[in-house]
Amino acid sequence: MESSNLLIMTNVAVIVSAICFGLICAALVGIRSSQVALTDRIEKLTSHK
């Protein structure tokens, strides 16, 4: 029983850490892309003037 509980706990920990890692990566990519989009818009606005 204890070994199966340990396996379940480690599996849950791995899944949770993987989800957290994925969310952090998605957030970083989103921030990076939004920053690029903002700089592109600013450059377009300044170049038009």
Burial class (CB in 10 A: 0-12, 13-18, 19+), 42: exposed
Q: Which domain holds residue 42?
A: 23-49
Is residue 34 in some structural domain? yes
* Helices and strands, number each (H, E), in the chain: 1, 0
Is residue 32 in some structural domain? yes
Look at the chain and report how many structural domains it folds into. 1
On whether the pTM is more than 0.75, the answer is no
Is residue 31 in some structural domain? yes
Q: Give tens-digit pLDDT for 1-13.
A: 678 999 999 999 9
- 3 state SS of 24: helix
Q: Give tens-digit pLDDT for 17-40.
A: 999 999 999 999 999 999 999 999
